[in-house]
């Protein structure tokens, strides 16, 4: 850490010169953009845009994930001083990463929300950047996948989750975080044969051809086997990674709407994400962080680490 920079830097989200490099301002002060990246709507020369979607009107149990993006950004203030551990490269030096701010939407017109979000992501993709989205409940992944499918065609998905989100629901006007993957497959956004769900530990009648690695298999087979299986499934297909924080056991991430025991330990998630390096990641999200149910902030910290790993995965493939 550069002590002189720490003494003089503040609000680098607004005062940063250029889009690359680390930040050294005090973790407890200043404007909390994600990883102290520049807050900007200018996508010129941007490789990756981090954006927040504070939406939680599709949940089946506890609300609160509308506060997730804000909490994840605050938690990320602990991370922008050094290169991420174990990667061997400096993504914040090698890529132009910005904080694009949050999606603007009318909370009282829920029916308009999906297309508003799709248009938001579509605009970023059309500018040539990728996205890492901070949720928000897991429904948000469906409108995001629509924008990605428009650009890439049916894509592979790696989904970390306690739930499959494949509950059958052929009313496509319904907005529900438990049916979003069912609809993504049925609408042709996702290629199920080249997609995999990791950490599942709730019942599902029909996986619609998606591969599934449940939490027990992760515990018993180990990280290397899980990574090898996931990589074989997605191959080099354009891949979107969605990480529901309830993939982690409630001991590690209590701040979520539908916690389920028996989940992944944080070290398992970290190791799997790190070893997925080389997949053709085109975008990703971390969702279902609900700060009101975790006074320690541990869940938001986990969410911030996941988002940083997504940045690393995105950069790793592009650096050859």
Paired tokens of 68: 């997730």
pLDDT for res 4: 59
**According to the annotation, is 161 in a ligand binding site?**
yes
Q: Which residues of 9-20 are buried (b: 16+ CB within 10 A; e: fewer)?
A: beebbeebeebb
Q: Which residue has the tokens 């845009």?
A: 49
Is 163 annotated in a binding site? The answer is: yes
User: What is the model's pLDDT at position 5?
Assistant: 66
Does 244 carry a binding-site annotation? Answer: yes
Annotated binding residue 246? yes
Give pTM, 2 decimals: 0.96
Topology at the third CATH level for domain 42-64+103-318: 3.40.800
Structural domain boundaries in the chain: 42-64+103-318
Q: Does residue 138 have a known ligand-binding role?
A: yes
Q: What are the pLDDT digits (tens) for 169-182?
A: 999 899 989 899 99
The structure tokens 């739930």 sit at 163
The helix or strand, by DSSP H or E, that contains position 212, with its residue range, turns out to be strand 211-214
Per-residue model confidence (pLDDT) at position 22: 87
Positions of the chain with pLDDT lower than 50, given as ranges: 1
């Amino acid at each position: 850490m550069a002590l002189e920079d720490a003494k003089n830097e503040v609000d680098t989200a607004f005062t940063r010169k250029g889009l690359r490099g680390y930040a050294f301002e005090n973790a407890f002060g200043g404007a909390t953009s994600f990883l102290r990246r520049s807050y900007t709507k200018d996508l010129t020369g941007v490789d990756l845009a981090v954006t927040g979607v504070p939406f939680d009107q599709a949940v089946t149990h506890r609300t609160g994930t509308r506060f997730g993006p804000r909490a994840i950004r605050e938690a990320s203030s602990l991370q922008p001083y050094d290169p991420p551990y174990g990667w061997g490269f400096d993504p914040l030096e090698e890529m132009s990463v910005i904080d694009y701010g949050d999606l603007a939407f009318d909370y009282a017109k829920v029916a308009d929300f999906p297309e508003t979000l799709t248009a938001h992501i579509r605009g970023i993709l059309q500018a040539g950047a990728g996205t890492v989205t901070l949720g928000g409940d897991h429904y948000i992944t469906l409108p995001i996948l629509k924008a990605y499918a428009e650009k890439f065609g049916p894509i592979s998905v790696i989904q970390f989750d306690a739930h499959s989100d494949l509950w059958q629901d052929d009313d496509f006007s319904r907005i529900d975080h438990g049916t979003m993957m069912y609809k993504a497959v049925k609408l042709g956004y996702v290629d199920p044969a080249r997609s995999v769900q990791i950490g599942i530990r709730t019942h599902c009648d029909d996986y619609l051809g998606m591969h599934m690695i449940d939490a027990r298999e992760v515990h018993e087979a180990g990280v290397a086997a899980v990574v090898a299986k996931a990589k074989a499934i997605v191959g080099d297909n354009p891949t979107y990674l969605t990480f529901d924080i309830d993939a982690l056991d409630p001991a590690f991430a209590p701040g979520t709407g539908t916690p389920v025991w028996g989940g992944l330990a944080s070290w398992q998630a970290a190791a799997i994400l790190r070893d997925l390096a080389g997949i053709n990641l085109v975008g990703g999200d971390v969702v279902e962080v609900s700060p009101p149910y975790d006074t320690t902030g541990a869940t938001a910290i986990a969410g911030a680490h996941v988002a940083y790993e997504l940045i690393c995965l995105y950069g790793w493939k592009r650096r050859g």
